[in-house]
Structure 1
Amino acid sequence: MEKKSIADLKQLFVSGDISDEYVTNLKSDERKGVQALIKSFESKKRREQELEEKFINMCYYEKKCYQNGCNYIAGIDEAGRGPLAGPVVAAAVILPRDFKLLGLDDSKQLNEATRNKFYDIIKNESVSYGISIISNQQIDQLNIFESTKLAMRDCLNQLDPKPEHVLIDAVHLDELPCTYEAITKGDQKSITIAAASILAKVTRDRLMKDIHNKFPAYDFASNMGYGTKHHMEMLDLHGVTPYHRRSFAPIRDIVK
């Protein structure tokens, strides 16, 4: 086999225009640069295989539904149940049967850039999606659990076509017009719930960044309303904002 320059080989690896047989033959090339390219290539292939396997495993619930005759399967998840400030957001999504997005996972396991990229892909390729935002004032009136369920029902009602089965991350919703499953850690086990988790989290994070611009001292763009040390110090120094959940401790104690 004629030896190519390392620059030419690198271009082949980058373009993907290279066969496994060619890579096997390259292993006899003792140049360190060539061996480094092979190592990187094989590492990338292993990672892709892991992502393929994970995606297949996360299709388990969807595949079971399709086998039972369902065509439209919705996933629902929420973001923002725990923070001291800001809304709770829920999202519902129906993905096409042939949807594939390697790396799709619970939104909390992905970095911001990947979440934003996947957010656009999911919105553009979904059959239908819905997003519901429940304000901190509504949370104070209803409590966080009822607010979460309200948001989930609302985003589900936005879907068109209507789902025949719903997969929900952990929360039980009674009296739905179709069958459903509440799956513990569902955003790690179902691609549809994972997709919903990304829509919910990206939406809420962007809202918290908008709130940060109004009240930068609290650093909502970083803590997303959670009770970090800095956030608590700012509460002691500046008090509560209109976006804090007054029914939550320790906010409740501050506004007494």
Structure 2
Amino acid sequence: MDWEEVKKQPDEILDLAEKVASSKNIKLIICIDEFQNISTFDQPVEFQKKLRAHWQTHKSVGYCLYGSKRHMLLDVFSSQSMPFYNFGQVLFLNKIAEKHWVPFIIERFAVTGKEISAETAGLICTLTENHSFYVQQLAHFSWLNSETTCNPEHVTTAFETLLLQLSFLYQSLTDGLSNSQINFLEATINGEEKFSSKEIIQTYNLGTSANVARIKQALVSKEIIEISGSDIEFLDPMYKHWLSKYWFKLK
């Protein structure tokens, strides 16, 4: 398909799936990953308007739009000024629970002739906070460390190896943060909640209450934390562990 021709006939391209589905009397679902990147396109709002104008008329095609950057997706779907506002149902996927991870890890070890107890598999989940990518990565490192049976010592050693492997990335990330942003992360790791209180602001040198709000927004934009109500969570649990041990040197 020639791109220059595509640009000349965008309407036909946007309706292509609907025409195919209708002609074959079938239903289609179009899945688009990392949909939040649409906001980086040239004239993003105009493009979104065109997409919605076509897609909302389709009767034989459904659209599953998803991505990994929640705050950017919310900007696309939850802002009343945006074309995709109320386009469809917004679903937030929770992390896979430990009760599902543990039997999976045990089964994958067993396939290779190795054993791991439910307790040790649970340790993998706990250390990675059920983060899908890191659960699998730590499980793999733990598998490499063990011969026939994986024990907690293998997991903790693998965990340290993984942290050190990520150190260069995390060092670079932290170097790009301001002192107040780093201080805010330390307060978060320490379990602080009243970030606008005079005591917390002075203890962690956060400036002012208004500055705390700016710090939060900056860290959300940098995809370091996610805020849901009063809860603040690191998007990367390994980064939290790395900061705690190697940057803040907390016990």
TM-score tier, shorter chain, comes to under 0.3
Structure scoring higher RCO (CA < 8 A, sep ≥ 6) equals 1
Structure number with the higher helix fraction is: 2
